[in-house]
Amino acid sequence: EIVMTQSPATLSVSPGERATLSCRASQSVGSNLAWYQQKPGQAPRLLIYGASTRATGIPARFSGSGSGTEFTLTISSLQSEDFAVYYCQQYNNWPLTFGPGTKVDIK
């Protein structure tokens, strides 16, 4: 099983600042990496797939990068609606696995 780790566990950011979230895979997943956003009481929402492709309707301030085992989600200028938990997920191998999440909260 591929183990996904995310850092930091919590990221405190002021509105308008840049946020950088990391995701690491225990072995290479190529570019088969997705990012999701989840707000309290809501279902997850797909942000990024293929490590760097924004899903439909996702604002340009969200960007993804990386390949192999190291990935990054960047939110260029945090808006109030971006404070949430972010999960990465690999879909290169079975079983599909998620990272433990990074909570982005207001500084």
Partner 1 sequence: EVQLLESGGGLVQPGGSLRLSCAASEFTFSTYGMSWVRQAPGKGLEWVSCITASAGNTYYADSVQGRFTISRDNSKNTVYLQMSSLRAEDTAVYYCAKSWRANCYYMDVWGNGTTVTVSS
From residue 69 to residue 98, the character string flagging contacts with partner 1 as x (rule: CB under 8 A) and all else as - is ----------------x-x-x-x--xxxxx
Question: Is the Cβ of residue 28 or residue 38 nearer to partner 1 in the bound state?
Answer: 38
The C-alpha atoms of residue 42 and residue 80 are separated, in whole angstroms, by: 16
CB atoms within 10 A of CB 105: 11
What one-character-per-residue DSSP string does the chain give?
A: -PPEEEE-SEEEE-TTS-EEEEEEESS--TT-EEEEEE-TTS--EEEEETTTEEPTT--TTEEEEEETTEEEEEESS--GGG-SEEEEEE-SSSSPEE---EEEEE-
55 binds partner 1 (CB under 8 A): yes
**Which range binds partner 1 by CB under 8 A, 21-29, 31-39, 59-67, 74-82?**
31-39
Figure out which of the listed residues 21, 23, 49, 62 binds partner 1, where binding follows CB under 8 A. 49
**Which range binds partner 1 by CB under 8 A, 11-19, 33-41, 58-66, 70-78?**
33-41
Which residues are near partner 1 by CB under 8 A? 1, 32, 34, 36, 38, 42-46, 49, 55-56, 85, 87, 89, 91, 94-101
